[in-house]
Structures are given as C-alpha cells and as structure tokens.
C-alpha cells in the first residue's frame, strides 16, 4: 500500500468509532500546546522532569521555591493546618454558595484595608472562588452577562500586552471581546507608560480595563504610585471600568499595604470596580484553590441595593458553575487572617519569601554586570515579584535549554523563585555565554 493510501486510511480510522461510525467530534482540532502544562508531553515542565542533567535549572514554574529548590510550606500554614486538624468540630460539609463568611470578610479587609469606607458603607459584596483563576472567570462571566454600557463597543476588556496567558483564554470563553494596550517596553525593559496612557485615552468610553494590582505577570514591571494616580485620572475622565487582578499581595514587596495601594487608591477615588484575589502565592496554598471575588460599587444612596442585587446574581452564576467553593484552603487562610498572632507570623513569612527573591535579583544582576555581559541588566532589580522579563530572545532561550539545560518560557520570562545560591552562578554563566555567542 502506498504512503498516500496509508495516510488516508489513518485519517478515516481516526474519525471512525469501533463500529465504523463516524464520531460527532471528528472536526475537533488539537488544542495549542500549553507551554507550562503538567500533562502535555512536550510541555516545559515535562521536558524539565525528563532531563537527567544534574545542573538543570527550572525557571518556568510559577510557584515559590526555597534556597534548595524545594516547595516551601509556610510555617504559619503548618501551624494553622495543625490547629485545624485538631479541631473536634471539623467536618466536610458544604460551604455556603458564597463561601466561608469569615474568610470573605477578612479578605475584604486585607485588600481594601481595615478602615475602608467602602466596607463600612456596605458597598462591597464578596464571594469565595476557586483561587484567582476562578475569580477572574466569575468576574468575566458577570460582566459578559450584566455589563451594559451605552456604547456596545465598550463591552470589551482591554488587557496589557503582554498579560497572563490565561486571561485571554478565560475572557474568550465567556465571550468578552479582548483588546490590548501597550505595557512593556522592549527597549527599556520597563513600563511603556506613554503607550499605556495613550491607549487608555483612545479607548471607547466605558471600556473595561484589566489592571495587575502588583507584581505584573509576566513582566514584573509595575507603575509607580504617581503613575497609578495618572492612570486613575484618565480612567475617571473616560468612565473606564477597572478590573483588578491581585495575585501577589504581600508577596511582591513584602508589605500587604504597599501591594494593595493601587486598589485602595482607586476605591478612594469613587470607582465602581471588581477585584480578583488569589491566596496561591502569598499563602503557598497553590493546590487548595483559595481565592475571592469582590464587587465594589461607587458611593451613593443606591450602594447597598446595588451590592444586594449584584450579589444575588453572582450567587446564581456561582451555583451553576461550582455550587460551593472548596473549604480546606479557605479555612486555613481564614484562621490566619483572623488571628492576631498568626497574622503577624504570616507577615514575617511573606518577608522571607519576598526577601529571598529580592536577593536573587541583586545577585543575578551583579554577576551579569561583573562579567560585562553584553546589554544592560538593571531591569532585573527594577522589576518586582516572582517573574522577570529578562529580554532574552526566543533563539537564546532555546540555546539555554538545549546546551545548558535551563528551562524558561520562550518569551524570556523567568521565575526568580527558581534561582538560589546553588544555581545563580551557573545561570549567570550560561546567560553570559549564550548572549555573547548570539551577539557576534
């Protein structure tokens, strides 16, 4: 049989069931590969695990690692976990649809501040979600269904270029049109503030603007407080709707209040907005999927009625999607958030994580500059949080992987948490060699 005939037979066989009946899903296309997926044969994580080289370095994982490249269970989480498991009243009953009330109440205060006027005026409604991803999805679904600006072109969400890849997938799935605004400057490896501002000014009035509250993913580049004020002023003038994604509060700078500054400022300016909150990074509760979604309405006599109506619709959406959020991670977080001593220890654990990452940034920059590696490297310490956009090109990333067993996403983003005192020298040497080789 010829190769052409064999290929055709293979195509037909793939589209046929065991009884020779064509599948109703024969036209379904293979999805694009998720470069970080655990279960994709050629994904970044799978390739790293398969690599047997003793010097291999994993800079792709979006999770904190200690100085020995091991997952770190926060000491305060261990304490809370022990206390929780020793509670004779612990059970596995369903939580309410909106989640654990002590958790959502504490989450409001964490992100908006203990003295928040929005909270005291009952202008906030909150639901527990399946971590930050679930919060973004719930927010997108709610806006897709209920946001009705006077101009239909406004019903689009503008995301930064680049942004967390899952933003695009989530908003596409809930049928929210997606537009982008400039954010990262390849020249300076910092914020393209002029481009961002220009794009906001030209956006259709009433458009939805997704903003990373701190530790922008994937660039690690954040606006300054003065820049946030300018962004707020423009958005107010254009009646743009803020959609905050807050995945790194306390993890970025080590200060919970510093990392929440932008959100609190926007609320103080009277914006109606939504906030998506994750406890994966700052509690290390990656697999427990603890998060919250907050809707904040603007001040006025309508406020409590608005939050009541919005809350009722959010509950219906939540019920149809997950019925009830997962309990265990929320119970751990709630215990810590509502206990003065545990909260203080958590703040110390946050300083430990953020401090180690800052030290790795300093070390990497210092080593590259000592070697006089071609290019400028100040952006390594100018950026903040878990990720850094190195400025390495795709071909350089590929060479680092093939020759030096260093794994990162092809856009040059690295997880700073993957660096430690045992591998930062090797990584700097590898980058130096590749940059010099490809600069010739």
**Mind telling me the catalytic residues?**
164, 245, 281
Closest alpha carbon to 262 in 306, 310, 220, 227: 227
Structure tokens given for 208? 């939805």
Helix axes 394-404, 424-439, angle to 10 degrees: 130
Q: What are phi and psi of 130, to 5 degrees?
A: -80, 80
Closest alpha carbon to 234 in 209, 261, 264, 260: 209
Maximum alpha-carbon separation in the chain:
79
What b/e sequence results for 100-114 when a residue is b if at least 16 CB atoms lie within 10 Å of its CB, and e otherwise? beebbbbbbebbbbe
189 close to 391: Cβ distance less than 8 angstroms: yes
401 close to 417: Cβ distance less than 8 angstroms: no
Tell me the three state secondary structure of residue 98.
Answer: coil
Q: Which helix (H) or strand (E) holds 389?
A: strand 387-389
Q: Write the DSSP string, 257-325.
A: HHHTHHHHHHHHTT--EEEEEE-HHHH--GGGTEEEEEEEPPSSTTHHHHHHHHHHHHHHHHHHHTSS-
Q: What are phi and psi of 33, to 5 degrees?
A: -70, 135
Alpha helices (H) along 32-181: 44-50, 75-85, 101-112, 117-120, 131-146, 165-173
Structure tokens given for 102? 């002590």
What is the separation, in whole angstroms, between the first and last Cα of the chain? 51
What's the DSSP call for residue 242?
E
- In whole angstroms, what is the distance from residue 217 CA to residue 209 CA? 16
What b/e sequence results for 259-283 when a residue is b if at least 16 CB atoms lie within 10 Å of its CB, and e otherwise? bbbbbbebbeeebbbbbbbbbbbbb
């Amino acid at each position: 049989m010829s190769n052409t005939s064999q290929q055709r037979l293979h195509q037909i066989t793939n589209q046929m069931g065991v009884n020779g009946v064509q599948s109703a899903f024969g036209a379904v296309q293979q999805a694009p590969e998720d470069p970080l997926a655990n279960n994709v044969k050629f994904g970044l994580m799978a390739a790293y695990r398969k690599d047997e080289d003793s010097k291999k370095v994993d800079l792709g994982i979006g999770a904190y690692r200690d100085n020995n490249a091991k997952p770190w269970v926060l000491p305060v989480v261990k304490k809370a976990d022990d206390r929780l498991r020793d509670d004779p009243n612990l059970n596995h009953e369903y939580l309410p649809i909106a989640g654990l009330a002590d958790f959502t109440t504490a989450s409001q205060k964490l992100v908006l501040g203990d003295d928040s006027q929005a909270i005291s005026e009952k202008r906030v409604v909150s639901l527990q979600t399946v971590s930050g991803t679930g919060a973004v999805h719930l927010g997108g679904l709610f806006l897709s269904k209920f946001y009705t600006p006077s101009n239909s072109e406004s019903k689009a969400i503008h995301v930064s270029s680049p942004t967390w890849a899952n933003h695009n997938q989530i908003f596409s799935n809930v049928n929210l049109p997606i537009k982008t605004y400039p954010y990262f400057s390849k020249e300076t490896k910092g914020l393209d503030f002029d481009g961002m501002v220009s794009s906001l000014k030209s956006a259709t009035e009433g458009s939805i603007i997704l903003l990373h509250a701190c530790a922008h993913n994937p660039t690690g580049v954040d606006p300054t407080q003065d820049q946030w004020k300018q962004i707020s002023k423009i958005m107010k003038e254009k009646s743009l709707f803020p959609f905050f994604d807050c995945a790194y509060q306390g993890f970025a700078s080590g200060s919970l209040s510093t990392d929440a500054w932008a959100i609190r400022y926007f609320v103080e300016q009277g914006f109606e907005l939504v906030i998506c909150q994750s406890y994966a990074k700052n509690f290390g509760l990656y697999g427990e999927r603890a998060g919250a979604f907050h809707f904040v309405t603007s001040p006025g006599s309508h406020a409590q009625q608005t939050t009541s109506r919005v809350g009722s619709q959010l509950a219906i959406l939540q019920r149809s999607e997950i019925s009830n959020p997962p309990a265990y991670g929320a119970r751990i977080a709630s215990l810590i958030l509502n206990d003065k001593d545990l909260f203080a220890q958590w703040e110390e654990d946050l300083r430990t994580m953020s401090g180690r990452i800052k030290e790795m940034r300093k070390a990497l920059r210092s080593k590259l500059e000592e070697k006089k590696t071609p290019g400028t490297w100040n952006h390594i310490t100018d950026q903040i949080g878990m990720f850094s956009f190195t400025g390495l090109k795709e071909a350089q990333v590929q060479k680092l992987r093939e020759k030096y067993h260093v794994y990162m996403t092809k856009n040059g983003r690295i997880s700073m948490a993957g660096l430690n005192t045992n591998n930062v020298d090797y990584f700097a040497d590898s980058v130096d060699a590749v940059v010099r080789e490809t600069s010739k």
